[in-house]
Chain A
Amino acid sequence: MDKNRHLQRQLDMKRSLLDQGYLDEQFIQLEELQDDDNPDFVEETVTTFYNNSARFLQNIEHTLGDCPIDFPKLDNYMHHFKGSSSSIGATRVKNECTRFIEYCQAANAQGCVRTFLQVKQEHAILKAKLETYFQMAKSRIAAGAPSLCRSKNTSFAEFASYRKYKLFRKSDIVYRYLK
């Protein structure tokens, strides 16, 4: 039950993140890429992203602070950042980036500054949520629940035992209900 619950919670969280638009299909794809050989792939990737994005955000902030603002440079930075965040499926962040770019191309400094704040905000929110998500995954795995990711080498025994577990749980529930 614990394992199941873990799994369920994680799935639920993912679902909510997807629904709320924090994450998108790309994230699902990343998870699908993950496998036993690389069980922490998604987490590692997200970590890499956050490490690099912090630097980028700083650069952008500096450039925004310049006077006069170098819009092409900003455009460049933001495209890069947008590409990065969209690669991990950070939808909201990506959307804010798009808005930023629009302002940038219109050379609208105010708009840029405003949007940039939004970008940072979304970026931070998503970071927190993903951290929670990964923690869930870790605890689930620690508890022994089957991994979420596509397992290349799922042994049949493992699978069978999981199924048995599920069946057992089901029967347990039924039993309880019947009771």
Chain B
Amino acid sequence: MNPSNGKGSVSMASSSGGWKAGDVVLDQFPAGLRVLVVDDDPTCLVILEKMLRACLYEVTKCNRAEIALSQLRENKNGFDIVISDVHMPDMDGFKLLEHIGLEMDLPVIMMSADDGKNVVMKGVTHGACDYLIKPVRIEALKNIWQHVVRKRKNEWKDLEHSGSMEDGDRQQKPSEDVDYSSSANEGNWKGSKKRKDEDEETEERDDSSTLKKPRVVWSVELHQQFVAAVNQLGIDKAVPKKILELMNVPGLTRENVASHLQKYRLYLRRLSGVSQHHSSLNNSFVSNQEAAFGAMSSLNGLDLQTFAVTGQLPAQSLATLQAAGLGRSTTKTGIPMPLVDQRNLFSFENPKSRYGEGQQQQHLSSSKPVNLLHGIPTTMEPKQLAALHHSTPSLGGMSIQVNTRGGQSNSLLMQMPQPQSREQILNESTGSHVPRLPSPIGQPIMSNGIAGGVIGRNGIGDSGRGTLYSHVPPTSSMVSFPLNHPTELASNSFPLGSTPRISNVTSKGPFQEEVNAEIKGSAGFMPSYDIFNELHQHKSQDWELQDLQFNASQNANPVEGNLDVSPSVLVHPGYSSSQRIGQNRTASAIGRTIYSGIEGTEQGNTQIIGQNLNNLLADNPVRVKAERIPDSCNQTTLFPGHFGQEDLMSALLKQQPGGIGSTETEFDFDGYSMDNIPV
């Protein structure tokens, strides 16, 4: 048999559409795929190994689940996919599945001679990518690479093509955008952005890879510490920053915590939602983790919603964004804005369209996230959520969700989306695509970035950011929110840095802060919220997306215009344009301005964000926001010059504290309509 045939024309190579720099891996893909096989039956193990070798994969076999797990932990990025038996003596296959999903987020294929519907269903609900019936034939194994690609693709999608591709899955391409109902413009700018990003990506690929943070292995002890910290803080108040401080683990970054928090939230949500599954898992936190992670792994496919659910900031940020924009408080819960939203957020197209998208996103995200958050002890404080919502109505969807994915995806996303997001952002001509938070950018930044970006624009970033915060490397690119809310930045140090592009989002701080201090409080979404907070704060900061990491230090930089959000952070100077946000329409205008500002640069992302913010703001049926924005704008210097967004953000942020309660309702995305933009 000719295994190479199986690989066939890996469309990957061609699909990458833009990833030129293509990884060398692309060409060989799927050869060299690193597979870990776990089965206690030596006969099957040997046969599988042989078959997989025949497919030109790199095979590692284990006959015990514990060994497999430890191998995975030691070498987090050492495997692409795991194949595991269901019935194993030392550990149930599903448990292993959840562990892996929780900790490593790798695609897992289950297999068994048991083809009963219940068992297969169990596999599905626990997040398995596939379920093979024994005897496993080599034909079935030839195609397992599709799961790796699919997963990466979904992550990218979420991240809005941040441009950092792992193992050459770059192909995943940002074209995911098509899924989003963004306006046509989006596609355009996406494409252009993608192209642009691609170039950048290839160049930065190395950078991003180096920037990419190594996955943190959440060991049992670590998780226990984490849970203890969360419980100590209180679910509502558990912010990544505080958790990090409480845990006091060297080498652990806020982003790691943020993404883990998201997952944990998701897990909790699952617990509440799917008690049967989790009840059995409750015997150990691990299982909890698993649940959460399991959920998370399955989230891959889910849109930002899932993100939101996972509690990762992105969702929150999205929620906040949405809330901000739509005045919907509900969105807070789940980072309603799935990554998709992000992109949508960024779609600058006419505000209307943005809104629509934003709404969609919000709906998406909100529908899910809302639930999620509800179930999960929202780490984010309601205020924060509200704040987030307020501030980043538009952002909410966008960036926040990106981050939800948890650290991994964040970094990934951040890397990937950045370029993409930028594209998107840039592409958005009218900035109406605000909701489109450039996923690429957003992703890493997702929580932060988006928030940042969005916030930056409208100052709404606060909300948006919150969600984005999730691991998204502070790529504050999103963060480019001109909002110079320095306060949050610190917290927002999302690992955004992972994607160099996204790093822009890291808008260093300004965005993060903008997101409202409140957002910070929202423990849940941390990353995203942080971004928003920071965004607000940093209104003026230059959104330097360079590193998604929202460095609190960035606060200082006024958004004015550096939105270097290149990767995803819209930090682009476009923000300055956001200054216009003052006006009702400014929201959209801001976005647009931001967008325009960004157009030139990759920072379009920020623009998008901003626009999204604007959109959010503008479209808020609640009007209140819009009105507020102008007010805030006045107050905040967001708009002056560059920071229109910042002002918005700040304005939003400011308003949020007080109006959180009200804002929540305002952000009811459902009711959100573009037409409501008070002009």
Taking beta carbons and an 8 Å cutoff, which residues of A are in contact with B?
A: 25-26, 29-30, 32-33, 38, 41, 44-45, 48-49, 52, 76, 79-80, 82-84, 86-89, 97
**Which residues from chain A contact B138 at a C-beta distance below 8 Å?**
29, 33
Whether A76 contacts B87 by the Cβ 8 Å rule is yes
Nearest neighbor of B53 in chain A, beta-carbon distance: A33
* Residues A41 and B50 in contact, CB atoms below 8 Å apart: yes
Are B113 and A86 in contact (CB-based, < 8 A)? yes
Shortest CB-to-CB span from B543 to chain A, Å, is 55
User: Across the interface, which residues of B come within 8 angstroms of A25, CB to CB?
Assistant: 137
Which chain A residue shows the least CB distance to B44? A87
Of B1, B43, B112, B136, which one neighbours A49 at CB under 8 angstroms? B43
Question: What are some 30 contacts across the A-B interface (CB < 8 A)?
Answer: A25-B137, A26-B135, A29-B137, A29-B138, A30-B50, A32-B1, A33-B50, A33-B51, A38-B50, A41-B50, A44-B46, A45-B46, A48-B42, A48-B43, A76-B87, A79-B87, A79-B114, A80-B87, A83-B41, A83-B85, A83-B112, A84-B43, A84-B44, A86-B135, A87-B41, A87-B44, A87-B134, A88-B47, A89-B135, A97-B113
Which of B40, B43, B87 is the one whose CB lies under 8 Å from A87? B43
The 8 A-B pairs with the shortest beta carbon distances in the complex, nearest first, are A83-B113, A83-B134, A86-B135, A82-B113, A49-B43, A79-B114, A26-B135, A87-B135
Within 8 Å CB of B43, what residues of A? Answer: 45, 48-49, 52, 84, 87-88
CB contacts (< 8 Å) of A33 on chain B: these are 47, 50-51, 54, 138
A76 smallest CB distance to B (angstroms): 5
Complex alpha-carbon distance, A52 and B46, angstroms = 13
Question: Contacts A29-B138, A89-B135 given: A84-B41 contact, CB under 8 Å?
Answer: yes
Q: Binary interface profile of B, 102-135, with partner A (CB < 8 Å = 1, else 0)?
A: 0000000000111000000000000000000011
**B-side contacts of A84, CB under 8 Å:** 41, 43-44, 113
Query: A79 contacts which chain B residues (CB < 8 A)?
Result: 87, 112-114
Contacts of B41 in A (CB 8 A): 52, 80, 83-84, 87
Which residues of chain B are within 8 angstroms of A26 by Cβ–Cβ distance?
135, 137
The chain B residue with its CB closest to the CB of A50 is: B43
Question: In whole angstroms, what is the CA distance A76 to B85 when docked?
Answer: 12
CB A175 to nearest CB in B, in angstroms, measures 39
B46 and A83 contact, CB distance less than 8 A = no
Determine how close the nearest CB of chain A comes to the CB of B497; give it in whole angstroms: 45
Q: Can you name 14 extra interface pairs (CB under 8 A) apart from A41-B50, A45-B43, A45-B47?
A: A29-B138, A30-B47, A32-B1, A38-B50, A48-B43, A52-B43, A76-B87, A79-B112, A82-B134, A83-B134, A84-B43, A86-B135, A87-B44, A88-B43
**Assembly CA distance A126 to B585 (angstroms):** 80
CA of A25 to CA of B40, assembled, Å = 24
The size of the chain B interface, using a CB distance under 8 A, is: 21
B114 near A87: Cβ-Cβ < 8 Å: no
Across-interface contacts of A45 in B (CB, < 8 A): 43, 46-47
Kindly state the separation between the CA atoms of A167 and B119 in the bound complex, as whole angstroms: 56
Q: Return chain A residues, CB-CB under 8 Å to B113.
A: 79-80, 82-84, 86, 97
CB distance A87 to B112 under 8 Å?
A: no
Bound-state Cα–Cα, A48 to B39, Å: 14
Residues of A within 8 Å of B54, CB to CB, are 33
Chain B nearest Cβ from A66, distance in angstroms? 18
Chain A residues with CB under 8 A of B1: 32
Cα–Cα distance between A79 and B463 once the two chains are bound (Å): 52
Bound complex: CA A66 to CA B44 (Å): 29
Chain B contacts for A38, CB-based, 8 A: 50
What is the bound-complex CA distance between A44 and B112, given in angstroms?
22
A82 partner residues in chain B, CB cutoff 8 A: 113, 134
Q: Which among B1, B54, B85, B113 has the highest number of chain A CB atoms within 10 Å?
A: B113
A32 to B43 Cα, complex, angstroms: 17
State A40–B112 Cα separation when bound (angstroms). 26
Give bound CA distance, A28 to B495, whole Å: 51
The verdict on A52 contacting B135 (CB below 8 Å), with A32-B1, A45-B47 known, is no
Closest Cβ of chain A: how far from B3's Cβ, in Å?
A: 11
Contacts of A32 in B (CB 8 A): 1
Chain A residue at minimal CB-CB distance from B136: A87
Chain A residues contacting B50 (CB-CB under 8 Å) are 30, 33, 38, 41
User: Nearest CB to that of A83 among chain B residues?
Assistant: B113
- Knowing A80-B41, A80-B113, the reply to whether A86 touches B134 (Cβ < 8 A) is yes
- Alpha-carbon distance between A44 and B50 when the two chains are bound, in angstroms: 12
Chain A residues near B136 (CB, 8 Å)? Answer: 87
The CB with the most chain A CB atoms within 10 A, among B46, B47, B85, B87, is that of: B47
Contact call B47/A87, Cβ cutoff below 8 A? yes
- Residues on B with beta carbons closer than 8 Å to the beta carbon of A76: 87
Report B5 CB to chain A, min CB distance, Å.
14
Using CB atoms, name the residue of chain A closest to B46: A45
By a CB distance below 8 angstroms, the chain B residues around A97 are: 113
Q: In whole angstroms, how far apart are the Cα atoms of A49 and B44 in the complex?
A: 9
Chain A: CB-nearest residue to B43: A49
What residues of B have a CB within 8 angstroms of the CB of A44 in the complex?
A: 46
What chain B residues lie within 8 Å of A88 (beta carbons)?
43, 47
Tell me the nearest residue of chain A to B86, going by C-beta.
Answer: A79
What is the minimal beta-carbon distance from A126 to any residue of chain B, in angstroms? Answer: 14
| Complex CA–CA separation, A30 to B114 (angstroms) | 21
In the assembled complex, the CB of A63 is this many whole angstroms from the nearest CB of chain B, namely 14
CB atoms of A83 and B137 under 8 A apart: no
1/0 per position for B131-166, CB-CB distance to A under 8 A?
A: 000111110000000000000000000000000000
CA distance A69 to B42 in the complex (A): 27
Q: How far is the CB of B39 from chain A (nearest CB, A)?
A: 9
**Would you call B47 and A83 a contact (CB within 8 A)?**
no
Chain A residue at smallest Cβ distance from B1: A32
Contacts of B134 in A (CB 8 A): 82-83, 86-87
Nearest Cβ on chain B to A14's Cβ, whole angstroms: 18
Whole-angstrom distance between the Cβ of B598 and the nearest chain A Cβ: 55
- Cβ–Cβ < 8 Å partners of B44 in chain A: 83-84, 87
| C-alpha gap A88/B1 in the complex (Å) | 18
User: From B42, which residue of chain A is reached at the shortest CB distance?
Assistant: A48
Min CB gap B115→A, angstroms? 10
